[in-house]
A and B are shown apart, each in its own frame.
Chain A
Amino acid sequence: QVQLQESGPGLVRPSETLSLTCIVSGGSISSYYWSWIRQPPGKGLEWIGYIYYSGSTNYNPSLKSRLTISVDTSKNQLSLKLRSVTAADTAMYYCARVTTLTYGEYFHLWGQGTLVTVSS
């Protein structure tokens, strides 16, 4: 079955760029929307943004100025880059496959998440 696996550096210095990858296995990245969602320690969930396999994106306005989400269909993976990070960006970062409906959509398949800590 389809599995998602996030990976990243774990620790990022303030003001630097956070870079994460989500590898999709057991199925194709094509024909789906993919999303990044994060969760600060002990807190709730925050939607970061979407990417369609074709490359079109939709970002959370609160992060848009610092955010780039991309997809590499040849590697069956998606990536996230968040620039100029601060301690407020410390969180568990999840990638998820989106199932779209005629009305609405939902986050169907989730990776296990990767914890990113922003600290000097």
Chain B
Amino acid sequence: DIQMTQSPSSLSASVGDRVTITCRASQIISTYLNWYQQKPGKAPKLLIYSASTLQSGVPSRFSGSGSGTDFTLTIRSLQPEDFATYYCQQSYSSPRTFGQGSKVEI
């Protein structure tokens, strides 16, 4: 199985901050990498697919980059509604696997 490791596991930030979350795969996965946002009591929501393609309707302050084994999710200017947990997920091989999550707190 491909292991997905996110860092940090949690972070504290303020409205307006630039936030960066990294995701590392245990083997090369090209750009087969997706990012999801999950708020408490809600299902995850797709933010970015194929490492850097913004899902329709997602604010442009979210961006993704990377290829191979190292990936980054950036929130350019953190908004109150962005406080949530973020997960990366690989679709390169089966079983599909997720990172452990990165919680963004106030």
Contacts and interface: CB of A to CB of B under 8 A. Distances in A.
B94 A58 contact: yes
Interface size class of B (residues with CB under 8 A): 20 to 34
A22 B76 CA distance: 36
Interface in A63-120: 94, 99, 101, 103-108, 110-113
Contacts of B49: 99, 101, 104, 106
Contacts of B91: 104-106
Contacts of B42: 112
Interface string B37-80: 00000111110011000000000000000000000000000000
Interface stretch (B10-18, B19-27, B95-103): B95-103
B98 A104 contact: no
Interface residues of A, number: 21
Interface of A: 44-47, 58, 60-62, 94, 99, 101, 103-108, 110-113
Interface of B: 30-32, 34, 36, 42-46, 49-50, 87, 89, 91-92, 94-101
30 contacts: A44-B98, A44-B99, A44-B101, A45-B36, A45-B44, A45-B89, A46-B98, A47-B89, A47-B95, A47-B96, A47-B97, A58-B94, A60-B95, A94-B43, A94-B44, A99-B49, A101-B49, A103-B31, A103-B50, A104-B32, A104-B92, A106-B34, A106-B49, A107-B34, A107-B46, A108-B46, A110-B44, A110-B45, A112-B42, A112-B43
